[in-house]
Structure 1
Amino acid sequence: MKIVTLLENEAAGGLCAARGLSQYIETPRHKILFDMGPDASFAENARRLGVDLSQVDVAVLSHGHSDHGGGLRAFCEVNSRAEIYLRPDAFGEFYAVKPGQAPCYIGLEPSLWELESRLVPSAPGLRLDEELEFLGPVPAVFSWTPRTPKLQEKTPGGFAADTFSHEQHLLVRAWGKTALFAGCAHGGIVNILRAAQAQLGCRPDAVFGGFHLFELDPADPESEQALRATGAALAEGETVYYTGHCTGDYAFGVLREMLGERLRPMHGGTVAEL
């Protein structure tokens, strides 16, 4: 299978860069778009990279944050055929809430719901065919999971911690290889990886996604302990990891020290083949 990172926080070769993520996946049966970044930049990059988005037949939104779904309308403008799979509550009222600051809306633009006829509610474990399936429930089995108290959802009673029930992960099988696409991995990359291993019956050959570790503090000993525990868990087996976006330079550096060439950046323009 071929994986092209259309958009990420960094880019090479004069491509657009923006805080967000969008990836194109090509298999024998499908042309897949996984996330659409914060705006139309991913579509411009696709044009420059020779990726024809009009031929995408399956699109997936990993979760309801605007840095992954803000380009949804731009995708629908260049593609009239693909069904777009998202969790039923992806249009929740999601905010970043920091002490002393006004809550900042980070959810999908409500007007995108006008595209309802293109949107298909998905569920954990949903299988589309022998190549594509969504990861089932992700139990919190690992001793450490990223904690992001600022990420909250507005409810009738005020703000509450985001449970990330709107997050989903895609498993792709092709040519005897398996890949896991994890978006931001808010549920914890190790938890997600272990759930994928249980569902597949083996560890995936590759993982693509942000690990949401960018807020870890290099001066905090607990941060390094958490990173090294994460790295040790990821080091099991032979899985190769392509990461960026919300992983952060500090976390990438520590994990690269532990995983070596098995940890690779996925900046805009990166092409991987399995």
Structure 2
Amino acid sequence: MIFSRNRGSGRHAKSDARGRQDRLDEDLDLDADAGLDPADDDEPRAAKPERAEGPYDITEAPEGIAQLDLGSLKVPAVDGVEVRVQADNDGKIQQIVLVSGESALQLGVFAAPRTEGIWEEVRGEIRKQLFNDGVAAEEVSGDYGAELRARVRSPEGLTDIRFVGVDGPRWLVRAVFQGPAAVDPQVAPALLECLRNLVVDRGHEAMPVREPLPLHLPKEVAEAGAAQAAAGADDPVGANGADGAAAPRRKPSPRPRRK
């Protein structure tokens, strides 16, 4: 797993596409008049059909799958997939991107009402925002129902993206494929395997609808990152070299003589 502090993550050469995604995240934030999804610890849930494949709710997830525990999301460990996360100084994750070859998969998980899914509504808002940005989005049918596909401009040229939404019990997983897998999912089967074995731990707390569910680094990773940051603070930039040895001081340039 690769993680960085909140000053720019290891990018998948998609800076413009990612900036567009950040704007979408802001536009889809909870409105002030939206209600809370109340906790239902004491209220029995209606029986739900078992899923043939994930993303799974924590209550229905199969056993025996190796996972990276990131709090509300349990990301399966799949050969050939690199997990890149961006976190703040407290270890709270701001972004999760899975990379396989030339394709990437960005994952997000949000609170949803108990009574109905919200992907249809969210999908419409994403499409509208893309349109406002001058990008035409096409609605297509995929493994999880209606999806959005678009082509955006990046520093490397045109980049394909595909938005997939999965409504679960009081949660929504939003998956954004980038690169070749946005056009043909079979190009990156390892990313599909990650999505199909993803597990959501919604918890029982009352949360505003569409509020991102809490994500955090594993304790050992967060502690290692904090120690690394502390070590960097003890060695100010420019004081020591890359190997920790004192950097040689440069002689001041001679002042020009006045004529």
Q: Looking at both structures, which has the greater relative contact order when contacts are Cα pairs under 8 Å and sequence separation is at least 6?
A: 2
Larger Rg: 2
TM-score (norm 2): 0.23
Tell me which protein shows more helix as a share of its residues.
1
Tell me which protein shows more strand as a share of its residues.
2
TM-score (norm 1): 0.22
